[in-house]
Amino acid sequence: MDTFSRRHGLNRPDADITVRYEAPDDLRHAVVALAYQCGLNPSDLRGVLCSILYRTPDRSNWSEFPNVDGEVRDLISDCEWFEIYDLIELLAQSCERSGVDFSGETNRMFRIKGVGWQLVGTRLEVRGSEAFELAVKEG
């Protein structure tokens, strides 16, 4: 996405890492938005969430917006924090084929939201300060 801030190299400063073993609502809803940016529709996302949660999709929800999207938002609220990160890895695999930089957008969101993970390819790894990152790479 070619936005004003990207064309001019303007970025929010990285927030201090405050989130590692949790998935706040802002993060959950950002994941839904990123999935939609990748071209996934609510039914696609519902399918992935239902497989993570071992649920059956609500067959009475057939219109993408607002019905299936509402179900997606309910399902994502029911996920445990670590299932959100499972979802992110699964979405990274799906979005690789879309041409959208899902990893880059996800990592940008993590830095802005102070999330202590980073998406490397399709796998989440611990993220820390530059000194921490260097120590991990050297180790």
Nearest CA to 35 out of 10, 4, 64, 2 is that of: 64
The tens digit of pLDDT for each residue in 99-124 reads: 788 999 999 999 999 999 999 999 99
Cis peptide before 24 (omega within 30 of 0): no
Rounded average pLDDT over 62-85: 98
pTM, 2 dp: 0.90
For a pLDDT cut of 90, what percent of the chain falls above it?
83
Cα separation, 8 vs 44, in Å, equals 34
For a pLDDT cut of 70, what percent of the chain falls above it?
92
Per-residue pLDDT at 69: 98
* C-alpha distances in Å from residue 95, one per residue of 56, 57, 80, 89, 125: 23, 22, 22, 10, 18
Rounded average pLDDT over 16-39: 96
Average pLDDT, the chain: 92
Rounded average pLDDT over 27-54: 96
At position 18, the amino acid (one-letter code) is: T
Per-residue pLDDT at 134: 59
Cα separation, 92 vs 3, in Å, equals 22
Rounded average pLDDT over 57-84: 97
Confidence of residue 133 (pLDDT cuts 50, 70, 90): low
In the structure encoding, which two tokens stand for residue 100, read together?
């959208």
Confidence of residue 11 (pLDDT cuts 50, 70, 90): very high
DSSP secondary structure letter of residue 131: H
Q: Where do the structural domains in the chain lie, given as residue ranges? A: 14-138
